[in-house]
Structure 1
């Protein structure tokens, strides 16, 4: 099924759906790819005495639930930076994730380890997540955290947290975006508290921004 507001593109002969909620769905495999969810980032900031909003873990899990239900995905693949730091192992964050996992016990979960995961440590075993290193290749697609990694297939990656600036004479708007090139796609950060990095695409790259409700091609 194709959720409202999404855009379908082709990469390596495969149909991929760019979702307005900052993820990619691969219909043939019923696989939902999520980049840079950064569970526990807010907790890490609070551990340093920096006041930041609470509830980001629940917000991320609710967003995941909505996408799983909308797409019918049976496999969620995290493209690195599942956990932000060791502070993500605090009881409250872990309890929320474990409660979610119990509700979604039939779901296949895979994590391609990213740079933050190496510092934060692996997720709790009770989450039953398959842990792999990049590149992790399925058919013609290679799933990575770092977009510039040499891989055998078309790369889907995160790490950059790309945003694109739409500007007029009077105003400017920064929107999360997908960056599509001939050999790779960079996904926007899925996490609700992760920030973004302005990208300047090359001549052979396409940009699709998302407003949260719809994906639009802007370049």
Structure 2
């Protein structure tokens, strides 16, 4: 299955937006992932909520596809790599360890998010570097929380932006990217996540919705 990419100008620098809900810097060869929330299904089941297993495995398969498509030299998770303390259990950690072994040569960095602090430390065997926001890489200030940073363009997550596409008879919420003058927010990568509707947001952000394996510009920057 082919997923579309669209190149946008983010603070004067090119960034490829993927319908796989990720962004890629072609100059730094860096793949940016926000809010994977790996192990969220395990957290729910640990608290007695009978959700199906397999969300983490499915998300890692999508990540494999992104790596195959873009051949990055590094991956940066923009916070909330894990969902909670139960994500450190064997179910999620075994899946992550197998994924990491498949991509042992990749540099993997995590900008710490609020869920990561609650989850606890990742096993050193995963080979994931933990850094704190803002982490400056090239023209970017890579953060978990959207904010303004002098001298750099912020790329962040945390908000899980979604856009509502409506007709007279029905409506659907789809993940979206939001790019304002000084900060871009990526959609949540994890499929088992909620979202914050941004249709009525009163700012200058351009919005790119992800629908049917395409990236669609639904609002240009005003």
TM-score calculated relative to the size of structure 2:
0.94
Distance in 1 of aligned mates of 2:91 and 2:166: 40
Deviation at 1:151, TM superposition (A): 5.3
4+ aligned runs moved over 6 Å, structure 1:
none
RMSD: 1.3
Name the SS for the 2:27 alignment partner: helix
* Paired residues of 1:137 and 1:152 also in contact (CA < 8 A): no
* Matching residue of 2:163: 164
- Deviations, residues 16-71 of structure 1 (Å, cap 9, x unaligned): 00100100000001100000000111100000010001011111110100000011
* Matching residue of 1:70: 69
Distance in 1 of aligned mates of 2:40 and 2:212: 21
Name the SS for the 1:218 alignment partner: strand
Asked if residue 205 in structure 1 is aligned to residue 205 in structure 2, the reply is yes
* Matching residue of 2:115: 116
Q: Which residues of structure 1 form unaligned runs of 5+?
A: none
Name the SS for the 2:68 alignment partner: helix
When structure 1 is superposed on structure 2, of 198-207 and 17-26 the one drifting more is 198-207
Distance in 1 of aligned mates of 2:207 and 2:22: 14
Distance in 2 of aligned mates of 1:27 and 1:171: 38
Asked if residue 44 in structure 1 is aligned to residue 59 in structure 2, the reply is no
For residues 4 and 43 of structure 1, do their structure 2 counterparts lie closer, same or farther at Cα, with a shift above 3 Å needed?
A: closer
* Paired residues of 1:8 and 1:17 also in contact (CA < 8 A): yes
* Matching residue of 1:107: 106
* Paired residues of 2:28 and 2:138 also in contact (CA < 8 A): no
Deviation at 1:156, TM superposition (A): 0.4
Deviation at 1:174, TM superposition (A): 0.8
TM-score calculated relative to the size of structure 1:
0.95
